[in-house]
Structure 1
């Protein structure tokens, strides 16, 4: 994630940072603070994320004399950001369908957070291979294909995203080799699925995209709480009793559990009378089920070379 790069002026070491690995984890302010912290700690200049203009120049094809093309700047060697996804000007764009349509139209594959190998053992324990699986916010990740290749091959394995662009691309990409995968355009806040129709729902960083404008993590804004509630309520609705919601996220447990268990005070007014009645007398301490009727288990996922924690949340519906 952070490598020693070329020497700067007067022999000064320049640290190259894979900012893309951090883009969904941290705000712009925190990213800049991290850059300054690293510079202070390591006594070296830390290369900051490129500006939008610099990224565009680096990515723009330039015709060569022989008719071939190369990256902007005339160099055939990789630039500092070669192969990396450009940081958007604001994290707020991660909630915009237009951003994802544009990105997916050009990007073939990108996996957020841990790899399938990092979570496979826990997934095997939580989800049997004959389970009916729904993947929400699938994007162009390799997760669905990895699960399929690992034996999750029921016809009812459905991968969804609110971007028709990526759904069409993923369907075309995997149709021949993985006919058991279904790809459907669907909003995870309003799932077009029958009640109790899936044994497992899998989310890899999809809820994270809802959190980009939550404000103070200790007291998030009501809009974010409402959206997380809608997502959890929908996931719970389509899960069978005994089914499991699997979520991989970078967000620490003491923040995320409040969303997953409906513990924010503002969430109380969002719960319908039926769910309140079902959960009367139960607490959200991992034994009661909470407003969504599930119990929480958390695994800390360790990645080789990673410096930020990632967490696998398993929520078993009662």
Structure 2
């Protein structure tokens, strides 16, 4: 079923500007940085300057905003997007969240990071992004999601987002995906939440997460359908 869903998903991307992108992703090693270095140069729908694999901020905000509201009120909750690429998750949280939020997007592609920093700062004649709340912050940094030591200390984020990064690493074998999970849980605060967005069936993903997230609560929610495809949000949560 998971393989069938991925096939249908790739087919759904075949329209318009996404046809070339979908073809290159389908036939490539998704853990190869050179592939993701090429994406910022691909044609995009609209003028937002972002490209979303699976779906974007608009589809995810109903899940994200309540979790941010539950964060301790002492300071803006910190959000980490691992393998952010040129997705709209970070920019959407920064520009549209009505509550203060401190967002960090990391990616191993320097091209993607440079593109998002340019978008944030208003490079190439664009208007700089404006925060939805005056106390909100947004940063992008180059980093390997399997080794976040250089950019993130243990227990420092209330919310960690992974939209398709596990999926990409798992194509090269589960050890790489498990290392990603280990790092995400390391930087997560005791009462925080890791969300993995994926099209992979719960029968496949849940046993992996439950085995490697002992001491955390693992659950799943359906999202969509978006473009005729049902996705899943896998939540790994701690307790205060």
TM range (shorter): 0.7 to 0.9
Q: CA deviation at 1:253?
A: 0.6
Aligned to 2:7: 26
- The CA distance in 2 between the partners of 1:93 and 1:300, in whole Å, is 27
Structure 2 residue corresponding to 1:201, chosen from 141, 157, 160: 160
Q: How does 1:201-280 map to 2 (within 5 A)?
A: 201-213=160-172, 224-262=173-211
Instruction: Describe the SS at the equivalent of 1:196.
Output: coil
TM-score, length-scaled by structure 1: 0.59
* 1:200/1:243 contact within 8 Å kept: yes
Which sections of structure 1, spanning at least 5 residues, go unmatched?
1-21, 35-48, 50-79, 214-223, 264-288
Which sections of structure 2, spanning at least 5 residues, go unmatched?
44-48, 122-127, 132-136
Give the 3 Å change call, closer, same or farther, for CA 225–89 of structure 1 in structure 2. closer
Aligned to 1:52: none
Instruction: Describe the SS at the equivalent of 1:26.
Output: helix
CA RMSD after TM alignment: 2.9
Give the 3 Å change call, closer, same or farther, for CA 24–95 of structure 1 in structure 2. farther
Aligned to 1:110: 51
- The CA distance in 2 between the partners of 1:152 and 1:164, in whole Å, is 30
- The CA distance in 2 between the partners of 1:315 and 1:231, in whole Å, is 13
Give the 3 Å change call, closer, same or farther, for CA 302–81 of structure 1 in structure 2. closer
Q: CA deviation at 1:88?
A: 2.2
- The CA distance in 2 between the partners of 1:104 and 1:23, in whole Å, is 28
- The CA distance in 2 between the partners of 1:89 and 1:171, in whole Å, is 24
- The CA distance in 1 between the partners of 2:100 and 2:81, in whole Å, is 13
Give the 3 Å change call, closer, same or farther, for CA 104–259 of structure 1 in structure 2. farther
Give the 3 Å change call, closer, same or farther, for CA 189–295 of structure 1 in structure 2. same
Give the 3 Å change call, closer, same or farther, for CA 24–147 of structure 1 in structure 2. farther
- For the pair shown, the structure with the greater C-alpha radius of gyration is 1
Aligned residues: 210
* 2:65/2:97 contact within 8 Å kept: no
Aligned to 2:17: 83
Q: CA deviation at 1:314?
A: 1.3
Q: Which has the higher contact order (CA 8 A, sep 6+)?
A: 2
Pairing 1:301–2:235 present: no
* 1:228/1:259 contact within 8 Å kept: no
Q: CA deviation at 1:194?
A: 0.8
Offset from partner CA, 1:38-68 (integer Å, 9 cap, x none): xxxxxxxxxxx9xxxxxxxxxxxxxxxxxxx
